[in-house]
Amino acid sequence: MSQPSQLSTEHPDKPVIPAVNYLNADRGVWSWLTTIDHKRIGVMYLVSVLIAFLLGGIFAMALRLELLTPGPTIMGANTYNRMFTLHGVVMIFLFMIPAIPGVFGNFLLPLMLGAKDVAFPRLNLLSLYLYWTGATLALSGMIMGGTDTGWTFYAPYSTTTPMTLFPVLLGVFILGFSSILTGLNFIVTVHTLRAPGMGWMRLQLFVWAIYATSIIQVLATPVIGLTVMLIGIEKVGHFGLFDPSRGGDPVLFQHMFWFYSHPAVYIMVLPSMGVISEAIAAFARKNIFGYKMIAYSSLGIAFVGFFAWGHHMFVSGQSSLDNGAFAAISMLVGVFTAIKVFNWVATLYRGSIAVKTPLVYICGFLFFVVFGGMTGIAVATVSLDVHWHDTYFVIAHFHFIMVGAVIMAFLIALHYWFPKMFGRMYHEGWGMVAASLIVLGFNATFIPQFLLGNAGMPRRYYIYPERYQALNVASTAGASLLAFGFLIILIYLIYALVRGPIAGDNPWDSRGYEWMTTSPPPKHNFDVTPVITQDSHSYQEPGEEVEHVVI
Amino acid sequence: MSAIEDLLRQILWLPEPNSTFAPRVDQLHFFVITVTMIASVLTGLLAFFFFFKYRERKPRQSTPLVIPSVKFEIAVISVPLFFFLLWFVQGYKDYVWYTTPPENAMDVYVMAKKWMWKFSYGAEGPNAIATLHVPAHRPVRLLMTSRDVIHSFFVPDFRIKQDVIPGRYTETWFEATKPGRYQILCSQYCGTWHSQMWGEVVVMEGPEFDQWMLEQRKGALSARVDSGGDDGPAFHGSIVEYGKQVAMNQGCVKCHSLDGEPHIGPTWLDLYNKKEVLENGETVIADEAYLTDSMIDPRGKIVKGFKPVMPTYKGRLAAPDAAALVEFIKSLRTPGLEAVPSKEAIYEPAKPAQH
C-alpha cells in the first residue's frame, strides 16, 4: 500500500505515509486472519459489510424491477417472496447492525480513547468470526431452497411454511452472539481504557453513541436469539408455542420479536448520530453545540427505546390501553432525536464551514432524519397507523431512517475517516457528484413510497392493483439513480486506495482525538500514550481568547 | 375548507374518505404531514443557508464558542413535545372511537384463509366469498378469525385495518357513507399469493340492502341443501352449519344431546351462558372461553353429576373448527328464548367512550 518512492525526503513539506503502519507491519493473509489489532478487524468488517451491502442492494434492485409492472415482470411469486426476505435479512442482520459499530467503532473507539486496543482483543476477533459464520449460514439457507417469511419471521406462518428456515434462524442466532460480544467489549473498553485526563465529559460524541448502542446490543440481542430458537423448537419439535392450532399464541411471538427489533433500530441509528456529531464539528471548525444534551439524549434514546416495541402491533389485536401507552412512550424518542437535530444545526451557526463531500450528505441527512423521524411520530399516532400499518408508508418511513440516516452516515464516516484508515485521499469532484446523485436518487426512490402508502398499497405485494403503477415506476427510476451513485463511489474509492494522493496525518485539521496519531496509525496506535488536556471537539488553541455567544 | 382538504387528498394520493372514520383520520393526517414537511424542509434549508453564510473564508479560522442558554434548551424540548403530545391525544381519542362499535351494529362474521375472505351474516344470513355486501349509513361490525396464518383486513377507502388471527376473534367496525365498490386488501404477509388476497365491499343504500338480504336468505337455503356433505375449504354453509358438521364428524353428539336431555355429557341446548355448578362446588358461566377450554382440557372443570370420561380434542380440532363448534352451541336455543342475531356477538360491545 505504501511505496518507498513516496517516502521521499526531498520535499519535507509533502505529506507522507508512515513507513511502518498497521497495514504493513505484518504481511500475508494469515497475519490478517489471526490479527488481534482492532484496526485490522475494523478493515475486515468494512470489506465484509460492503459485500453484504452489495448483495442486499442487488436484491433491492431486483425487487424494484419486479414492481415496474402490476403483474409478473421478471420473477415468480415465490421468488419474489424469497427475494424480499433476502433483502431484509441481509441488509438488517449483515449490514445495518454491524456496519458502523463493526467498522468504525472497532477502528476508532480505541483511538478516540487514547488506548492501544479494545479491552478484549481476542474476543473482538471472535466476534468477526461469528459474524462470518452466521452470515455464511444465513446465506447458504437462502441458496438451499430459500426462506419466504420476511425478515420478521411472523408465526404461525414461519412455523408452518414448507420452505427452508433453519439455517437462516441459526445464522441470525449466531450473528446475535457476534453483536453481544462486540457490545460487551466496547462497554468494558470505554470504562477501563480511557487515557489519562479523559473524563466522561471529554469523551467524543461518537464514543457516547457507540457506548449507548453497546448497552442496547448487550441487553436486547439475547431476546432475538431466544425468539428464533423458540421458532426453531416449534418447527422441529412441534411444540405449541406460537401456533394456535397447537395451543400457542401468535401475538406472543410479535411481542418477543419487537422487544428486540425495536431497540435494534436504535442499534443502527445511534452510531450514525455519533458520526454526524463528529463530522459536523470537524467541517464547521466548531465546538459541538450542547455537548451534554447530545450525549445524554443518546442514553435517553437507548433507555426509552426499550419500552416502545408495542407500536409495531397497533392493529394486531393488542388492547387499546396498551396501544395508548406504547404510543405515548414512542413520542419521547422523537423528542430526544429533535434535541440532537437542533444541536447539530446550531453547531453550524457562526462556524467556518468547509463545504466538502461529507457536507452534502450531512445536508441530506438533516432533511431525511427530520422527515423520517417525524413520519415515525406520525405512524406512532394510533389512529393514523390504522391506515398506514403494513403499507408502503411504513416502508418509506423505515427506509428514510435506515437509508436516509444510517447509510448517509455510513458514507459520511467512510469519506471522513477514509484518509485516517488508509492514508490516502479520494477525488473530491467525483465525491460531490456521487453525493448529489445519492441524495437526489434517495428522494426519488422513497417519496413516491410514502404516497403509495397513503393510497393504500400494502407491503410485500408481488402483484398490485393497477392504480399504484405510476408511483412504483417513479420509485424504481429513483432506485436506479441511487444505484448509479453507489457505483461511482465504489470506483473512485478503489482508485483512491491504490493511486489516491497521500492525505497526511490530519487532512481535515480535525480536533478529534483519533487524528492525534499518524494516518494510517502505527500498529499500537500511539508511540507515546497521549495525555488529554482539552475537551473534545475543541477548536480553541490553548489559551486563545474567543468570543462567547449564548443563544 | 373541504376544497382544501380535497386538494390535499389529491396531492397525497389518498383515496376518497368513504366511511365515518376516514375524515377523522385524514384531518389529523393533514395536520401531522404539513408540520412534518415544514419542519424537515426548514431544517434542510437552514443547514444549506449556514453552509453558504458561514463558509470557510480562510483556513484554520478560529470560531466563537456558542453555548446554549437554558431558554434554548427548554424550547427545543418543549416545542416538539407539545406537537407530539397534541397528535398523540387526538390520535388516541379517534382510535378509541374507532375501537368502540355502536351497540346497534350489524354483525358479519369474517373467516380468512389462504388466500380468500369468507363472510357470513349470522345463523340465518347468506354466506359469500370475497364480496361483502353492507348497507350505507349503518354501522357494521366484523368479527374475524383465521383458519391458518395471520391475515389483515384492510379497506383503504374506509381507512380501517385489523389483523385476523387464528385461534381468536378480533373485531373492527365501520359505517360506509357512500354506495359503491371498495377494495379489500390483505395487508399481513401470508405466503405465495398474499398479494392477491383481495375482496370487495359492496355498499348499497339501506332499503336496497334489505331487499338483497331477503333474496339471499331464500337462495341460501336452497344452496345449503346442494352443498350437504361438502367439507373443508369448499364449504359454503354458515359458521353455525359448519359447526354442526364438525359436531357430527367428531362424534360430539354421541354424548351431548341437542334436545335438552342429559346424556353421557351435558346437553348443548341452552348451554351457552348457562351457570353450571362444578364437581368442586364452584360455578362457571359456560361462555366461549369455558366451552373452548372444555374441548382442549375436558377434565379440568367437570360439571356436577357427570363423569370425567371425555377425551381431549387438543390437536384433533383445528382452531376454526373449535370456533365453529362454539357458534353451533350458541345457536342451540329453546324456541321463545331465541336471541336476536346481533346479540349472538362473540364480544359484548364495549360502552362508548365519554362524549
Q: Does residue A158 fall inside a structural domain?
A: yes
Give the range among A168-177, A287-296, A531-540 with minimum mean pLDDT. A531-540
Assess contact for B203 and B180: CB atoms under 8 A: yes
For residue A85, give the C-alpha cell: 426476505
Who contacts A182 (Cβ-Cβ below 8 Å, separation ≥6)? A98, A101, A102, A105, A106, A124, A127, A214, A217
**Region of B230 on the Ramachandran plot (φ > 0 left; ψ -120 to 50 alpha; else beta):** beta
**Cα distance from B190 to chain A (closest Cα, Å)?**
7
Provide the pLDDT for residue A96. 94
Per mean pLDDT, which range of A146-155, A305-314, A527-536, B78-87 is the poorest?
A: A527-536
Chain B residue numbers with beta carbons less than 8 Å from the beta carbon of A470 are none
Residue A6 lies in a domain: no
Q: Output the pTM of the full model.
A: 0.83
Buried b or exposed e, range B114-141, using 16+ CB within 10 angstroms = bbbbbbbbbbebbbbeeebbbbbeebbb
DSSP B180: E
pLDDT (tens digit per residue) in B311-327? 778 777 777 788 888 88
Give the DSSP letter string of A12-73.
TTS----SS-TTTSS-SHHHHHT---HHHHHHHHHHHHHHHHHHHHHHHHHHHHHTTSSS--
* C-alpha to C-alpha distance for A224 and A258, rounded to whole angstroms: 9
Query: Which strands make up the sheet holding B116-120, listed edge to edge?
Result: B127-129, B116-120, B106-113, B140-146, B170-174
**Predicted confidence (pLDDT) at residue B129 exceeds the cutoff of 90:** no
Residue B134: band (very low, low, confident or very high) from pLDDT cuts 50, 70, 90: very high
Q: What is the model's pLDDT at position A421?
A: 95
For residue B98, give the nearest of B338, B354, B353 by alpha carbon. Answer: B353
* Contact by Cβ (8 Å): B209, B291: no
Task: Render pLDDT for B24-52 as a digit per residue (tens, 0 to 9).
Answer: 999 999 999 999 999 999 999 999 999 99
Q: Of B50, B133, B190, give the one whose Cα is nearest residue A148.
A: B190
Cβ–Cβ below 8 Å for B59 and A509: yes
Q: Do the chains contact at B35 and A374, CB–CB below 8 Å?
A: yes
Q: What is the mean pLDDT of residues B217-223?
A: 63
In this predicted model, what pLDDT tens digit does every residue of A13-34 receive, in sequence order?
A: 678 888 889 998 888 899 999 9
CB contact under 8 A, A547 and B35: no
Q: Does the residue A333 lie in any domain?
A: yes
Mutation for B interface: A151, A280, A370, A381, most B CBs within 10 A = A381
Looking at the DSSP assignment, which residues form a beta bridge with residue B154?
Answer: B161, B185
- In Å, how far are A173, B241, B319 from B166, measured between CA atoms? 27, 20, 7
Strands B116-120 and B127-129: antiparallel
Q: Distance, in angstroms, between A482 CA and closest chain B CA?
A: 20
Q: Is the Cβ pair B32, A391 closer than 8 Å?
A: no
The set of residues, in sequence order, having a beta carbon less than 8 Å from that of B176 and lying 6+ positions away, is: B18, B19, B134, B135, B136, B137, B140, B158, B182, B201, B203
CB B198 within 8 A of CB A464: no
Mean pLDDT confidence for A391-415: 95
Test A471 with B98 for CB contact under 8 angstroms: no
> Phi first, then psi: what are they for B67, rounded to 5°?
-125, 135
Question: Who's near A11: CB < 8 A, 6+ residues apart?
Answer: none
Instruction: Give the closest of B50, B60, B315 to A348, CB-based.
Output: B50
- The confidence band for B233, taking pLDDT boundaries of 50, 70 and 90, is very low
With respect to residue A28, please indicate whether it lies within any of the assigned structural domains: no
* E strands present in B64-158: 65-67, 106-113, 116-120, 127-129, 131-135, 140-146, 151-155
Q: How far is CA B260 from CA B257, B266, B270, B278, B283, in A?
A: 7, 8, 8, 19, 20
- Please say if the pLDDT value at position B231 is more than 70: no
In a domain, A34, yes or no: no
Whether the predicted pLDDT of A124 surpasses 50: yes
What Rg value do the Cα atoms of chain A yield, rounded?
23
Best of B61, B87, B110, B148 to disrupt the A interface (most A CBs within 10 Å) is: B87
What does DSSP assign to residue A500? P
For residue A475, the domain's CATH number is 1.20.210.10
A495 touches chain B (CB under 8 A): no
Cell numbers 394520493 correspond to B13
B174 vs B24: CA distance, rounded Å: 13
User: Does the pLDDT of residue A534 top 50, yes or no?
Assistant: yes
Give the position of cell 449460514: A137
Which residues of chain A from 12 to 41 reach within 8 Å of chain B, CB to CB?
A: none
Query: Where residue B195 falls among pLDDT bands split at 50, 70, 90?
Result: very high
Tell me how close the Cα of B59 comes to any Cα of chain A, in angstroms.
Answer: 8
Closest residue, chain B, to A373 (C-alpha): B36
Q: Where in the sequence is the domain holding A497, given as residue range(s)? A: 40-516
Which of A183, A80, A78 minimizes the C-alpha distance to A130?
Answer: A183
The verdict on residue A446 lying in a domain is yes
Cis bond before residue A222 (omega within 30° of 0): no
Interface check A475 vs B, CB under 8 A: no
Tens digit of each residue's pLDDT (9 = 90 or more) over A448-483 = 999 999 999 999 999 999 999 999 999 999 999 999
Rounded CA separation A292/A199 (Å): 13
Residue of B nearest to A327 (CA): B88
State the distance between the two ends of chain B, measured CA to CA, in whole angstroms: 25
Give the contacts of A419 (CB within 8 A, at least 6 positions apart): A425, A503, A504, A507, A508, A519
Residues of A within 8 A of B89 (CB-CB) are: none
What is the grid cell recorded at B118? 369468507
pLDDT of residue A322: 94
Which pLDDT belongs to residue A453?
Answer: 96
| Interface contact flag, A331 B15, Cβ < 8 Å | no
- The amino acid present at B142, given as its one-letter code, is L
Q: Considering only CB atoms, which chain A residues are within 8 Å of B152?
A: 315, 389-390, 458
Average pLDDT, chain B: 84
Confidence tier at B2 by pLDDT (50, 70, 90): confident
For residue A124, the distance in angstroms to the closest alpha carbon of chain B comes to 38
**Beta strand pairing status for B65-67 and A548-550?**
parallel
For residue A244, the chain B residues in CB contact (below 8 A) are 165-168, 319
Look up the ipTM and state it.
Answer: 0.91
CA-based angle B299:B302:B307, to the nearest 5? 85
More confident residue, B325 or B343: B325
The rounded distance, in Å, linking the Cα atoms of A536 and A385 is: 42
By the CB < 8 Å criterion, does A126 face chain B?
A: no
Q: How confident is the model at residue A542 (pLDDT cuts 50, 70, 90)?
A: confident
Report residue A26 as a C-alpha cell.
505484518
Cα A20 from chain centre: 31
- Residue B140: HSE in the Cβ half-sphere, 13 Å Cα cutoff: 28
Nearest CA in chain B to A297: B77
CA distances to A399, A480, A487, A543, B157 from A446, in Å:
7, 12, 19, 49, 23
At how many degrees (to 10) do helices A408-422 and A38-66 cross? 150
Report the candidate in A55, A272, A270, A93 with the shortest Cα–Cα distance to residue A179. Answer: A93
Please give the pLDDT value at position B226: 45
HSE (CB half, 13 Å, CA atoms) of B36?
Answer: 23
Contacts of A66 in chain B (CB under 8 A): none
Name the amino acid, one letter, at B111. Answer: M
Count of domains in chain A? 1
Please check whether residue A367 lies inside any domain of the structure: yes
Share of chain B above pLDDT 90, in %: 47
Q: Is pLDDT above 60 for A12?
A: no
pLDDT confidence of residue A207: 95
- Residue B202 and residue B119: Cα distance in Å, rounded? 12
Q: CB of B188 within 8 A of CB of B120? A: no
pLDDT average, residue stretch B268-294: 83
**Contact between chains at A246 and B37 (C-beta distance less than 8 A):** no
Query: B135 by DSSP, 3-state: which?
Result: strand
A418 Cβ contact partners less than 8 Å away, ≥ 6 residues apart: A424, A425, A426, A493, A496
Q: Which residues of A touch B289 (CB under 8 A)?
A: none
Tell me the pLDDT tens digit for each residue of A304-343: 999 999 999 999 989 999 999 999 999 988 899 999 999 9
Gap between the terminal Cα atoms of chain A: 48
Q: Which residues, at least 6 apart from A287, have a Cβ–Cβ distance to it below 8 Å? A: A281, A347, A535, A537, A538, A539, A540, B63, B65, B66
CA distance A106 to A6: 29
Q: Is residue A265 part of a domain?
A: yes
